[in-house]
């Protein structure tokens, strides 16, 4: 993973050879006008969206990365249907989180606080609309904070879901903990170790189970959640963690892997719960990553494998949406940011509507003329 450099807060993942020239210092760059901050696209569902953050501590286990911590701390951001849509919009991230994220990703083309100026759609600490709603857990890619999946989370909440996005501390460049401390990426020093990916998804599966325990029993808003309707989705290693969590916890009924190499091994007897792969052309059958080919054969229940032409690894995140604010152009041949966001939202929501709301979704059965970028390969 360390041979991959994520540019523009995860916009483009480019293979960087060891002899490539280093990025020039900020002072050496030609002066340019500062772009305007990014604005996330409006959610498409009928509900206003609220959001709040929870800081949880799992005292039953030590942190896998911080050897000085005697418990695993987690930050969970909740998005949910709100009773009203007026109020202060939630911050995308803090100025310090933005600084550490951009420095960690090697982005020098914008002020370091630029991501903290991103305009979101969710109202901070809004009163929930009520109801007994399905829950979707989201997990981000390695080194990325949960905020990089905000556009998807807001859209799902507007469609009637409670969304729990988990920041896995010490696996991203910046996670603010309960007392204001910022957990930086301690795991980044280990990502070339043998078995690293397997260890990460195992730890994230434990994170998910702990969060589910809290949200369905201890949280004062637990009545909002229908514990019989829980799914998980994630990007990159977060997508790989969706399968790991499902194998670990039967409460997770369905899962989506957005362009992530999988590590958790499915039993040879097969796996019957619904699962969807959605990825770039590199994740087409027989492509560079064969983990989906391996797992596809073992998925014995409802399953789909979608490939979106014109996408790259970070197309399933907010990376393209914030690229302009960071002064980075979308590479030639890659779909515009608004289109990749639309495709991701549409297909993930269709999957969840089918398996958590029991709504027929013809979109998932065959190619659509309205979405020609989505192909259904036959492994």
Q: How many domains does the chain have?
A: 1
Distance in angstroms (rounded) separating the CA atoms of residues 196 and 173? 17
pLDDT score, position 111: 97
Determine contact, residues 89/120, Cβ cutoff 8 Å.
yes
Q: What span, in angstroms and rounded, lies between the C-alpha atoms of 182 and 33?
A: 31
Q: Is residue 29 part of a domain?
A: no
Closest C-alpha to 210, from 272, 164, 262: 164
The pLDDT value recorded for residue 34 is 74
Domain CATH code at residue 226: 3.40.50.1820
Q: What does the pLDDT read at residue 378?
A: 80
Answer yes or no: is 371 within a domain: yes
Do the domain assignments include residue 319? yes
CB atoms within 10 A of CB 85: 14
Domain assignment present for residue 68? The answer is yes
pLDDT for the residue 231: 99
Residue 26 placed within a domain: no
Residue 15, pLDDT score: 30
* Residue 137, strand partner residues: 164, 232
The pLDDT value recorded for residue 32 is 56
The DSSP annotation for 95-164 comes to: HHHHHHHHHHHT--SS-TTGGGG-B--SEETPPB--S-EEEEEEE--TB--GGGGHHHHHHHHHTT-EEE
How many Å from the N-terminal Cα to the C-terminal Cα in the chain? 26
Judge contact between 255 and 249, C-beta under 8 A: no
Structure-block tokens of residue 164: 């729990």
Burial of 154 by CB count in 10 Å (0-12 exposed, 13-18 middle, 19+ buried)? buried
Sign of CA dihedral 156, 14, 296, 251: negative
Mean pLDDT, consecutive 10-residue stretches, the chain (379 aa), reads 37 32 37 81 98 97 95 98 96 98 95 98 96 97 98 98 98 96 96 95 98 96 97 98 98 98 97 98 92 97 98 97 94 96 98 98 97 93
Residue 286 counted as domain residue: yes
89 found inside a domain: yes
Q: What is the pLDDT of residue 20?
A: 29
Q: State the residue range of the domain holding 290.
A: 4-17+42-375
Cα three-residue angle 132-153-213, rounded to 5 degrees: 50
Phi, psi of 319 (to 5 degrees): -50, -55
Is 282 domain-assigned? yes
């Amino acid at each position: 993973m360390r041979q991959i450099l994520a540019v523009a807060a995860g916009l483009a993942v480019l293979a960087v050879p060891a002899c490539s020239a280093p990025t020039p210092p900020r002072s050496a760059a030609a002066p340019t006008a500062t772009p305007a901050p990014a604005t996330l696209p409006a959610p498409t569902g009928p509900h206003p969206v609220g959001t709040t953050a929870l800081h949880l501590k799992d005292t039953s286990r030590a942190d896998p990365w911080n050897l000085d911590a005697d418990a695993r701390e987690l930050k969970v951001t909740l998005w949910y249907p709100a009773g009203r849509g007026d109020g202060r919009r939630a911050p995308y991230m803090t100025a310090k989180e933005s600084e550490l994220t951009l420095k960690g990703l090697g982005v020098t083309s914008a002020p370091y606080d630029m991501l903290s100026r991103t305009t979101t759609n969710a109202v901070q600490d809004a009163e929930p609309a009520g109801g007994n709603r399905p829950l979707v857990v989201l997990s981000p890619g390695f080194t990325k904070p949960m905020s990089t999946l905000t556009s998807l989370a807001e859209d799902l909440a507007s469609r009637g879901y409670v969304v729990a996005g988990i920041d896995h501390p010490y696996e991203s460049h910046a996670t603010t903990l309960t007392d204001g401390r910022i957990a930086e990426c301690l795991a980044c020093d280990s990502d070339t170790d043998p078995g690293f990916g397997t260890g990460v998804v195992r730890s994230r599966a434990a994170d998910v189970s702990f969060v589910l325990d809290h949200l369905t029993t201890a949280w004062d808003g637990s009545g909002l959640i229908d514990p019989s309707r829980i799914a998980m989705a994630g990007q990159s290693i977060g997508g790989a963690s969706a399968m790991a969590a499902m194998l670990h916890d039967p409460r997770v009924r369905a899962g989506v892997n957005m362009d992530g190499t999988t590590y958790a091994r499915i039993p040879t007897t097969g796996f019957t719960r619904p699962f969807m792969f959605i990825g770039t052309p590199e994740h087409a059958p027989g492509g560079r990553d064969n983990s989906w080919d391996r797992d596809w054969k073992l998925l014995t229940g409802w399953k789909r494998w979608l490939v979106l032409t014109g996408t790259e690894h970070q197309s399933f995140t907010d990376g393209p949406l914030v690229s302009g604010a960071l002064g980075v152009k979308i590479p030639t041949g890659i779909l515009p940011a608004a289109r990749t966001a639309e495709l991701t939202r549409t297909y993930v929501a269709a999957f969840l509507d089918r398996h958590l709301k029991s709504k027929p979704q013809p979109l998932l059965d065959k190619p659509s003329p309205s979405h020609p970028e989505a192909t259904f390969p036959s492994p």
